Amino acid sequence: MEEGTFLEWLKKTGDFVNEGDPLFTLESDKAAQEVESTDSGILELLPDGPKPGAVIKVGAILAYLLAEGEPPQALDATPETTSLTPPVVYSQGAASVHSAKPVAVDATKATTTATTASPRARRAALATGVDLATVTPTGKSGRIRERDVLDASSKKRLPSVGWVDVPVTATRRIIAEKLERSVSQTVPVTITGRCDASAMVLFRNQLKAGDATPLPSFNDIILKIAAGVLKAHPNLTGRWAGTSIQLPDAIDIGFAVETEDGLVVPVLRDPGSLRLSEISRRSKQLIDAARNRRITSQETKDGCFTITSLGSFGIDTFTPVIQFPETAILGVGTITRVAVPLEDGSFASREQLPLSLTFDHRALDGAPAARFLQTLRRRLENPTAWI
Amino acid sequence: MLYRGRHHSQLFAHETEILMTSNRPHPSALELYRTMLVIRVVEERLAKSHQRGLIPGACHTYVGQEAIATGVCAHLRKEDAIFSTHRGHGHALAKGLPPRELMAELYGRQTGCSRGRGGSMHLFAPEIGMLGTSGIVGPCILQATGAGYSFKLMKTDHVGVAFFGDGAVNNGAFHEGLNMASIWKLPVLFVCENNQFATEVPFESVSGNPSISARGAAYGMPAVTLDGNDVLAVEAAAAEALIRARSGGGPTLLECKTYRTRPHSEGMGDFTYRTKEDVERWKTLCPIKRFKESLLKQNHATASQLEKIEKEVDALAEDAHQFAEASPYPSAESATQNVYAPARIGPPRDVPKPPASSRPLSFMKATLEALSEAMDADPKIFVLGEGIGVRGGNFATTSGLFAKHGPERLRDTPICERGFVGLACGAAMSGTRPVVDFMFADFVLDAAGEIINQIAKIQYMSSGRLTMPVLLRGCIGIGHAAATHHSGSYYAMYANFPGLRVVVPSNPRDAKGLLKTALTCGDPVLFLEHRELMATKGEVPEEEYYIDFGRAAVVCEGEHVTVVALALMVHKTLAAIELLAAEGISVELIDPRTVAPLDTETILRSVAKTGRLLIVDEAFAPFGVGAEIAAHIADTGFDELDAPIRRLNGKSSPTPYSAPLEAAVVPNTESIAEAIRDLCAE
């Protein structure tokens, strides 16, 4: 991680900050997170410090932690040469204290980088509507060049006339890049099927009637059951590595959460070994963290399978995109009541759940994927046996 | 007198009676009187106008010296060419300039003889053979010599006349000019007006030998000292000298002793370097007063005749003043007109595409072909230089031409660069087309004053009534262990001056087409040939063709970076481009071909495509071609730029001799490739 989008301070100038206190929130490539202080002192924010939405580099000076009675550093024109006060800097995952001098140099560099673009690049930015603040410079002196703007513009594919340019968040950019990578580097095939979810609906209604706290969602149930099925179908949990497939030693399953900034995929560790109530509790926590931009990168990495649901939107089947470098993703549709013909010619009213499985054809063929989906369907139709 | 010219005794005979009866044309005495009076009265009027503030600049009067211009010009025809100094009012009026045009010029008006561009010191009236006065001491001697060269080459009996003061005879131009006029027996009259002060320095105090006419012997030239305040003495000597010149007898030096009775320049103090008594004494020797008394005494004129002339002249001067004061000032738009000859009319000319047929020629052979074709077509072309005659040129630039055209058109010169460049200037002013072959560009720096102060400025100063078709050619460039006096480039320096065209070709095809243009255009051209290219070969079309100045060549097209290079650097850059192609870097190479005019349009068009510009130039960086191009593109193409403009130049030091030292001061293929790589990474 080299940079992130600054979101907000959690403390203000004059607050005493203890080591370990959450200091500010930052949106990184995966998610928003709270950054903790690694030192103590009285916080002094800089007048030209980061504003919400600003991209900051690792190592940039954001503020100072002052000792009791120490004069404010912001008044000093050259704090890096006249004071040994440790600055608050953003480093990997935490606010940390460095010796002032080298860090200040990094900060200067970061400032220059953010503001320099060639005249031609500026003109291209005007013509294409690209916001230079969102462009990654590739010039050897840190200058944004025309090609950088055109690259950024081609990613946007927005005609310049009659369209309003809305900058995207770092999260959105990361999502876009990951999806692009997935589609360009895998051979995705989607198969769909339906299962009878009447038993599952009944089961959940029973929990509800018994005031189960927390009440597991359908997704929690599917997660629990899918973990078990994946144990028997490890080829859906591997990572394609060209000459081999890397298999995980634990079945950690990600589940997609919609947030204001876009899709976040927290990973639930080994749900197969957890009780349903525990799964439910943890998934709620993760969803909460994701929606409040507090999810950490630790909590979003190393999944081996993903479940995504559009069940609450009346969606039937769809073609989910594999969370690269995983091999498969399960799309959960909306449970609908249907009339099912019985053997005696009469019809029964049943709850039906559509499932969409996208898998990387490089790693496995259609039949084993279909077999996995078949097993999953059967278990979901009789969930209590597998929970 | 210790030194005497060969014809001293004949020319020194100035007894009025003898001359008035000798067998030669006699000017009318009344005309002589009238001319002197016109000069005097007009200048006295100018002195008043200067006091009144009507003359914004200097005003150098000729008061006291009128007999000299009058006596000499009495025998000149309109076609004879005179060249004069900062004190030239009298020469111009005596040659026939209407007083109106002189006064208007000093008043700075559009109707002035130089259209308000020159004032007192820069008078031009080519229509009457007044080819100019100059604020620089010396050039008029060389220019009159050049006019003599033209007249002789064109087989006319016209004469070039130089008027100059005693101050000029201690200047190199005097030595070089008189020597050349003498060795080639040119029809030139050198009129030294010894008014005894070089501005305010007494001539005798700065001369090892204060006899000027004695110096004629040093050049094998007839010379005589005259009473310059005796108009009949002057006209008699001039008459004889002009007969000699017109009949092929060569030049003559006249030393006319005289005195200027007004200050060096109007409004200046006069008695720090000379005394009031001296001035008053010389006033009693006034040439006009003396001549009037002599005319009356010898009954050549009556008092009423002279009075009538005096009234006419007063009226003439008053009319001139009225005319000048009522004349409009020149328009501000005309301030930059006539720097160059009028542009050729017609479609732009370039290398024929594709040529009907071509053959490989060396650079040197291609230019020789151009010169040879031009000399066949235009009998007014002649070549000046050291060893360009029988020898055919140090670089075979004139090989075979001597046998065809003879010594007058292929003139081996003494080693006097200033002299023969100044001669070329005067020749061009008087109707021929000189080619100066100066071998190495370093040599011609001795003539920088003639090129920059005279050749470059004369079209402008004459408000376009004179053209300046001078070709100055020679080689430039580093790479042959010749050290600093045979390796310079200098094109940036020349391109700095308005009025000059500067051509720097990189291949035989361009060299021929550009030289053909240079030999037909009306402007002075510096044609600079890189020493390391002279033996290189290239395809040259068989058919006749011209390449217009100011049209850059796109040597090769590319996408990532524009490189501008001249002469040898074009070839070094091409080698670098080959290296870079393997790395995926695509370079567009532009060869401006001419530095002045500079085709910035083609460069801008290329930068608009690539966004990157490197100027590779063997010459020094400071104030150079690269700086000029960079400034222009930064101005007109700012938004096209995707990276800073870069220059790669030769080191800013004199050129050393030893191979590793020499290699260290000039860009090479590797350093060019590295500069391109570096710029592409920006």
pLDDT for B484-543, tens place per residue? Answer: 999 999 999 999 999 999 999 999 999 999 999 999 999 999 999 999 999 999 999 999
| pLDDT value, residue A62 | 79
Strand order, beta sheet including B410-412 = B410-412, B381-385, B433-440, B471-476, B525-530, B501-503, B594-596
End-to-end, the C-alpha distance of chain B in Å comes to 78
Task: State the average pLDDT for chain A.
Answer: 82
- Residue to test with chain B: of A116, A120, A135, most B Cβ within 10 A: A120
| 3-class secondary structure, B472 | strand
A126 touches chain B (CB under 8 A): no
CATH 2.120.10.70 fits A3-113, yes or no: no
Burial of B399 by CB count in 10 Å (0-12 exposed, 13-18 middle, 19+ buried)? middle
3-state secondary structure of A336: strand
| Cβ partners under 8 Å of residue B307, min gap 6 | none
pLDDT over 80 (residue A29): no
B597 upstream amide cis, omega within 30 of 0: yes
Question: CA-to-CA distance for B28 and B473, rounded, in angstroms?
Answer: 48
Structural tokens at position A8: 């907000």
E strand or H helix at A109, and its extent? helix A100-115
Task: Give backbone dihedrals phi and psi of B279, rounded to 5 degrees, phi first.
Answer: -60, -45
Average pLDDT over residues A170-193: 89
Structure tokens at A308: 């995504």
The hierarchical CATH code for the domain A187-386 is: 3.30.559.10
Q: What are the sequence ranges of the domains in chain A? A: 3-113, 117-167, 187-386
Interchain contact, B643 vs A118, CB within 8 Å = yes
By three-state DSSP, how is residue A248 classified?
A: coil
CB of A151 within 8 Å of a chain B CB? The answer is no
Residue A325 preceded by cis peptide, ω within 30: yes
Q: Which chain B residues touch A147 with a CB distance below 8 Å? A: 642
Nearest Cα neighbor of B461 from B113, B143, B168 is B113
Give the C-alpha separation, A318 to B459, whole Å. 84
Task: For chain B, give the mean pLDDT.
Answer: 94
Q: How far apart are CA B350 and CA B348, in angstroms?
A: 7
CB atoms within 10 A of CB A8: 13
**What is the per-residue pLDDT for B129?**
98
Considering chain A, what percentage of its residues have pLDDT values greater than 70? 84
Q: How confident is the model at residue A157 (pLDDT cuts 50, 70, 90)?
A: low
In this prediction, residues A314-322 reach a mean pLDDT of 94
Domains of chain B: 8-324 (3.40.50.970), 359-541 (3.40.50.970), 553-681 (3.40.50.920)
Residues 93-122 of A with CB under 8 A from B: 118-122
Q: Does B642 touch chain A (CB under 8 A)?
A: yes
More confident residue, A19 or B395: B395
State residue A104's pLDDT score: 29
Q: Which CATH architecture has domain A117-167?
A: Irregular (4.10)
Question: The tokens of B388 are what?
Answer: 């360009």
Do A187-386 and A117-167 have the same topology in CATH? no
Is there a contact between B682 and A145 if contact means CB atoms under 8 Å apart?
Answer: yes
Residues of B recognised as catalytic: 417, 486
- Residues A31-45: tens digit of each pLDDT: 667 777 777 888 888
**B641–A140 CB contact, under 8 Å:** no
Asked whether the CA dihedral B484, B490, B492, B494 is positive or negative, the reply is positive
pLDDT confidence of residue A11: 84
DSSP-assigned letter for residue A293: T
Answer whether the bond into residue B656 is a cis peptide, omega within 30°. Answer: no
User: Is the Cα dihedral B29, B33, B34, B35 positive or negative?
Assistant: positive
Query: What are B105-152's pLDDT values in tens digits?
Result: 999 999 999 999 999 999 999 999 999 999 999 999 999 999 999 999
Strand partners, A330: A307, A357
* A63/A100 Cα distance (integer angstroms): 11
Q: Which phi and psi angles does A22 have, rounded to 5°?
A: -65, 130
The pLDDT of A82-98, averaged and rounded, is 43
- Token pair for A184: 């360009």
pLDDT tens column, B534-587: 999 999 999 999 999 999 999 999 999 999 999 999 999 999 999 999 999 999
Q: Which of A1-10, A190-199, A370-379, B571-580 has the lowest mean pLDDT?
A: A1-10
* A5 touches A33 (CB < 8 A): no
- The angle formed by the CA atoms of residues B491, B549 and B420, to the nearest 5 degrees, is 50
Cis peptide before A214 (omega within 30 of 0): yes
Q: How confident is the model at residue A342 (pLDDT cuts 50, 70, 90)?
A: confident
* 583-622 of B, contacting A, C-beta below 8 A: 611
Distance between CA atoms of B357 and B540, rounded to whole angstroms? 9
Of the candidates A300, A265, A277, the one whose C-alpha atom is nearest the C-alpha of residue A224 is: A277
Report angle CA A125, A131, A135 to the nearest 5 degrees. 90
DSSP A235: G
